[in-house]
């Protein structure tokens, strides 16, 4: 088993903790200052709207499974990501995993506290609204994008069969 890169692992955990803290603070502010389903217009394409999402991504499977099941599944996934992070030697992978872990933990806390995830970022084009999301969701999406870029960069640097001696 590879030994953890001595500085990447703790820095990635710090990034995850920062994401979790920013997520918790933003959700606390929304829960204390915005009424449920109230739309506060910020820009012609963006509102702040408090939505409690009892489903998974974009509200899928709402009310079909207990929130504890989703929280447990997320916690298992975070455990797997922590093992991957511990073994990682690449900075981009560590950053991506830190973002995903912090975001996942932010949503796990919501499921355990409220049996739903607190969403509030509402982007729209006219009457068409993208499903509301939050800071944790944003961190997860950016983290996955960073992991994809890292994977593409790593694979482009590997020698191909034809270039091997």
Per residue in 41-58, pLDDT tens?
999 999 999 999 887 654
Catalytic residue list: 119, 137
In a domain, 109, yes or no: yes
**Which token pair is 54?**
């009892």
Exposure string of 124-142, with b = 16+ CB inside 10 Å and e = fewer, is eeeeeeebbbbbbbbbbeb
DSSP string, 87-150: H---HHHHHHHHHHHHHHHHHHHHHHHHSSEEEEEEEEETTEEPPPB-HHHHHHHHHHHHHHHH
In a domain, 114, yes or no: yes
Task: Give yes or no for a contact between 61 and 149, defined as CB atoms under 8 angstroms apart.
Answer: no
In a domain, 9, yes or no: no
30 versus 70: the higher-pLDDT residue is 30
Look up the pTM and report it: 0.84
Residue 37 sits in which domain range? 26-157
Q: Is residue 121 scored above 80 in pLDDT?
A: yes
In a domain, 164, yes or no: no
Q: What is the mean pLDDT of the chain?
A: 87
Per DSSP, the three-state class of 53 is strand
Q: Is residue 2 scored above 50 in pLDDT?
A: no
In a domain, 4, yes or no: no
How many structural domains compose the chain?
1
Q: Is residue 162 scored above 80 in pLDDT?
A: no
CB atoms within 10 A of CB 86: 18
In a domain, 163, yes or no: no
Task: Give yes or no for a contact between 49 and 35, defined as CB atoms under 8 angstroms apart.
Answer: no
pLDDT at 145: 97
Residue with tokens 């997860």: 140
Main-chain dihedrals φ then ψ at residue 55, nearest 5 degrees: -90, -160
Q: How confident is the model at residue 122 (pLDDT cuts 50, 70, 90)?
A: very high
């Amino acid at each position: 088993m590879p030994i953890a890169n001595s500085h990447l692992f703790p820095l990635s955990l710090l990034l995850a903790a920062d994401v979790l803290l920013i997520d918790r603070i933003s959700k606390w502010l929304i829960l204390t200052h915005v009424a449920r389903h109230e739309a506060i217009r910020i820009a012609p394409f963006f509102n702040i709207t408090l939505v409690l999402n009892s489903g998974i991504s974009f509200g899928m499977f709402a009310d079909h499974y207990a929130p504890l099941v989703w929280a447990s599944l997320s916690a298992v996934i975070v455990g797997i990501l922590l093992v991957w992070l511990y073994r990682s030697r690449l900075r981009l992978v560590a950053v991506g995993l830190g973002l995903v872990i912090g975001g996942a933990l932010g949503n796990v806390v919501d499921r355990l506290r409220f049996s739903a995830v607190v969403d509030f970022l509402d982007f729209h084009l006219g009457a068409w609204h993208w499903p509301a999301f939050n800071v944790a969701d944003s961190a997860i999406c950016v983290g996955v994008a960073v992991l994809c870029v890292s994977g593409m960069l790593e694979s482009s640097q590997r020698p191909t069969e034809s270039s091997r001696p």
